[in-house]
Amino acid sequence: MTKEISGNNVTPPVFFRLAKLWGAKVKNGRIDIPVSYGNGYFAGCVFNENIRMLILDYKLKEEVTIENPEINTPGKTILFKFQHIHSGLSSKQSPSVLIATSRFNTDEVISIQEDTSSVNIEVTSPYLEALFTLSQKSPVLQSLSQNTQPLLFEQLISPGIQKILDEIVSEAIDEQFKWVFRKIKAEELICMLLMKLEERQETQLHPLKGKDVQAIYNIRKRILENIDEPPVMKDLAIEANMSATKLRTLFKQIFGDSIFEHYQQYRMKEAVRLLREEGLSVSEAGYRLGFSNLSHFTRVFEAHIGMKPKKFSATR
């Protein structure tokens, strides 16, 4: 039986370190950042021994690093980090969720970045294991719940998941029910996300090394910073200092799609932004994104967005 936690233990221990650092107070599981350090807040709750949540929405004047008060806490946890949840339509910071096993989220120090909007949920391996029977698991879910290898996945946030996140952050709930409401929503998020992960087709997962993960993210950053240039695998492999086969395999394992599919997906998200926010014409948006053939741009846009760009522009 899961033991519900009550009393002062409901507040994540790291909050008291931050409060001491900033000369602030922790009230109802929340720290409001003093204006001398920035603006925004940290909110969080340890619901029980198996699940906790942090809600982070702030801008700091400078990055902060503190010791992790729970570095020696026993047990394996899985982190679900829903990030950039207020970032809008930017192709470079689209809302996404990182899923990491213990090896990727138990550092001796915690770096508090200068600008963050995220909801973090941590669950234990036994909690995840109890959600479904072993025979029903996909290889991805099985490896995640067993939590014996360093693994990292990233998944774009669907409109359904974004709606739940908005409810967690913005819903006006009476104080005595707020964290009960958020616990229910946290479990709903986990369920929806696991359903998305189960759709992944990988039959074998490879343990990840930190340097390989960094290389993959550097490659992804380069692709998104040059969204008008189709990626060339040979050049990317040289830059990543790994074989093309390894690069393809690890990229798809982390992001769930191939390098070109990922590039095209973000390319079309940028097309949406150019048409909707900047008011570009269809031809201007197509040329900005490197399409020399506007018919090709129209076909790709319709395949990803569900309507032709001209019709989409008329709806803005």
Neighbours of 155 (CB within 10 A): 20
Q: Which residues pair with 111 in a beta bridge?
A: 65
Residues with Cβ within 8 Å of residue 191, at least 6 apart in sequence: 131
Return the H-helix or E-strand segment holding 97: strand 96-100
> What's the pLDDT score for residue 86?
74
Q: Which residues pair with 117 in a beta bridge?
A: 57
Residue 313 structure tokens: 């522009």
Report residue 185's pLDDT band, with 50, 70 and 90 as the boundaries.
very high
2-10 mean pLDDT:
50
Return the H-helix or E-strand segment holding 306: none
**Is 52 within 8 Å of 44 (Cβ atoms)?**
yes
- Phi and psi torsions of 126, nearest 5°: -60, -35
Looking at the chain, the whole-number percentage of residues with pLDDT higher than 90 is 56
> What's the pLDDT score for residue 103?
59
Rounded CA gap, 191 and 185, in Å? Answer: 10
**Is 31 within 8 Å of 55 (Cβ atoms)?**
no
Rounded CA gap, 179 and 159, in Å? Answer: 23
Q: Is 175 helix (H, G, I), strand (E, B) or coil?
A: helix
Give 246-301 pLDDT, tens digit per residue.
999 999 999 999 999 999 999 999 999 999 999 999 999 999 999 999 999 999 99
Residue with tokens 């879910």: 141
Q: Which residues pair with 124 in a beta bridge?
A: 77
Long-range contacts of 220-223 (CB under 8 A, 24+ apart): 220/251, 220/255, 220/262, 223/259, 223/262, 223/263, 223/266
Give 68-118 pLDDT, tens digit per residue.
666 555 568 899 999 988 754 444 567 899 999 875 654 544 556 667 889
pLDDT score of 120 more than 50: yes
Report residue 238's pLDDT band, with 50, 70 and 90 as the boundaries.
very high
Report residue 7's pLDDT band, with 50, 70 and 90 as the boundaries.
very low
> What's the pLDDT score for residue 223?
95
Tell me the domains of the chain and their CATH numbers.
7-198 (no CATH), 210-314 (1.10.10.60)
Q: What is the pTM of this model?
A: 0.85
Residue 47 structure tokens: 């619901």
Cβ-in-10-Å burial (0-12, 13-18, 19+) of 76 comes to middle
Looking at residue 46, what DSSP letter applies? E
Q: Which stretches of the chain are DSSP H helices? A: 14-22, 125-129, 139-146, 159-170, 175-198, 210-225, 233-240, 244-255, 259-276, 282-288, 294-305, 309-314
Rounded CA gap, 86 and 89, in Å? Answer: 9
215-225 mean pLDDT:
94
Report residue 216's pLDDT band, with 50, 70 and 90 as the boundaries.
very high
Give 19-59 pLDDT, tens digit per residue.
998 999 999 889 999 999 999 999 999 999 899 999 999 88
> What's the pLDDT score for residue 89?
44
Cβ-in-10-Å burial (0-12, 13-18, 19+) of 131 comes to middle
pLDDT score of 5 more than 70: no
